[in-house]
A and B are shown apart, each in its own frame.
Chain A
Amino acid sequence: MLEFVNFYLIPGLVLGAIYAIAAAGLSLVYGVMRFANFAHGDLMTWGAYAALVAVTGLGISPWAALPVAVAATVPVAWAVDAAFYARLRRAAPAVLLISSFGAALMMRAVVYFVFGPTPWTYARGVTPPLMLGAVRIQQRHLLILAGAALAALALHLLLARTRAGRAMRAMADEPDLARVTGVPVRGVIRLTWAVAAALAAIAGVFLAIDTELTPLLGFHVLLAAFAAAILGGIGRPWGAALGGLVLGLAEELATYPFIAGAPLLEPAYKTGVAFAVLVLALIFRPRGLFGGIG
Chain B
Amino acid sequence: MEAAALYVATMLTLAGIYAALAVGLNLQWGLTGLMNFGGLGFVAVGAYTSAILTAGESAQHLGGFGWPWWAAWPLAAAAGALLALPIGAISLRLRADYLAIATLGVAEILRLAVRNEDWLTGGPLGVPGIPRPFEAFGQPWGQLAYLALVAAMVAALFALAQATAHSPFGRTLRAIRDDEEAAKAAGKNPAAFRLQAFVLGAACMGLAGAMLAHFFKFMGPDALDPVTTTFLVWVMLIAGGSGNNFGAVLGAVAVWAVWAATDWLAAQLPGELATRAAYVRLFLIGLALQLILLYRPQGLIGERPPRPPA
The reply on A24 being an interface residue by CB < 8 A is no
The reply on A222 being an interface residue by CB < 8 A is yes
Stretch of A80-88, A172-180, A252-260 at the chain-chain interface: A80-88
The reply on A283 being an interface residue by CB < 8 A is yes
In the complex the two chains form, what is the Cα distance from A36 to B100 in whole Å? 9
Give chain A interface residues in 167-200, CB to chain B under 8 Å.
none
Given contacts A98-B293, A99-B293, A278-B105, contact A109 B282 (CB under 8 A): yes
A272 B104 Cβ-Cβ under 8 A: no
B112 A272 Cβ-Cβ under 8 A: yes
In the complex the two chains form, what is the Cα distance from A283 to B88 in whole Å? 11
In the complex the two chains form, what is the Cα distance from A87 to B285 in whole Å? 19
B280 A109 Cβ-Cβ under 8 A: yes
In the complex the two chains form, what is the Cα distance from A269 to B109 in whole Å? 8
The reply on A165 being an interface residue by CB < 8 A is no
Q: How far is the CB of A82 from chain B (nearest CB, A)?
A: 12
The reply on B141 being an interface residue by CB < 8 A is no
Partner of B231, one of A35, A101, A268, A283: A101
Given contacts A38-B37, A110-B283, contact A94 B97 (CB under 8 A): yes
Q: How far is the CB of B77 from chain A (nearest CB, A)?
A: 24
The reply on A143 being an interface residue by CB < 8 A is no
A98 B112 Cβ-Cβ under 8 A: no
Interface string of B277-304 (1 = CB under 8 A from A): 0011011011101100110010000000
The reply on A3 being an interface residue by CB < 8 A is no
In the complex the two chains form, what is the Cα distance from A35 to B35 in whole Å? 13
Question: Which residues of A are found within 8 Å of B234, using beta-carbon distances?
Answer: 98, 101
Given contacts A98-B35, A102-B287, A275-B109, contact A230 B101 (CB under 8 A): yes
Q: How far is the CB of A30 from chain B (nearest CB, A)?
A: 8
Interface string of B224-241 (1 = CB under 8 A from A): 000100010010001000
In the complex the two chains form, what is the Cα distance from A269 to B91 in whole Å? 22
Beta-carbon nearest neighbor of B275 in chain A: A116
Give chain A interface residues in 261-281, CB to chain B under 8 Å.
266, 268-269, 271-272, 274-275, 278-279
B283 A223 Cβ-Cβ under 8 A: no
The reply on A135 being an interface residue by CB < 8 A is no
Q: How far is the CB of B27 from chain A (nearest CB, A)?
A: 16
In the complex the two chains form, what is the Cα distance from A19 to B91 in whole Å? 23
Question: Which residues of A are found within 8 Å of B282, using beta-carbon distances?
Answer: 105-106, 108-109, 112
In the complex the two chains form, what is the Cα distance from A227 to B104 in whole Å? 11
Number of A-B residue pairs having CB atoms within 8 Å of each other in the complex: 114
A contact residues, total (Cβ < 8 Å): 43
In the complex the two chains form, what is the Cα distance from A93 to B40 in whole Å? 23
The reply on B276 being an interface residue by CB < 8 A is yes
In the complex the two chains form, what is the Cα distance from A104 to B230 in whole Å? 14
Given contacts A101-B231, A105-B283, contact A95 B297 (CB under 8 A): yes
Partner of A109, one of B106, B279, B289: B279
The reply on B96 being an interface residue by CB < 8 A is yes
The reply on A286 being an interface residue by CB < 8 A is yes
Beta-carbon nearest neighbor of A286 in chain B: B94
The reply on B180 being an interface residue by CB < 8 A is no
Beta-carbon nearest neighbor of B294 in chain A: A87
Given contacts A98-B35, A109-B279, A282-B90, contact A103 B105 (CB under 8 A): no
Interface string of B197-241 (1 = CB under 8 A from A): 000000000000000000000000000000100010010001000
A97 B294 Cβ-Cβ under 8 A: no
Question: Which residues of A are found within 8 Å of B112, using beta-carbon distances?
Answer: 268-269, 271-272
Q: How far is the CB of A104 from chain B (nearest CB, A)?
A: 8
A266 B116 Cβ-Cβ under 8 A: yes
Question: Which residues of A are found within 8 Å of B98, using beta-carbon distances?
Answer: 230, 282, 286
Q: 28 A-B residue contacts at CB 8 Å?
A: A36-B97, A36-B100, A38-B37, A38-B100, A84-B294, A87-B294, A88-B293, A93-B96, A94-B96, A95-B293, A97-B97, A97-B100, A98-B289, A101-B231, A102-B289, A102-B293, A106-B287, A108-B282, A109-B283, A113-B276, A113-B283, A222-B104, A226-B105, A268-B112, A269-B116, A279-B105, A282-B94, A282-B98
CB-based closest 8 A-B pairs: A109-B283, A105-B286, A106-B286, A109-B282, A102-B289, A113-B279, A36-B97, A275-B105
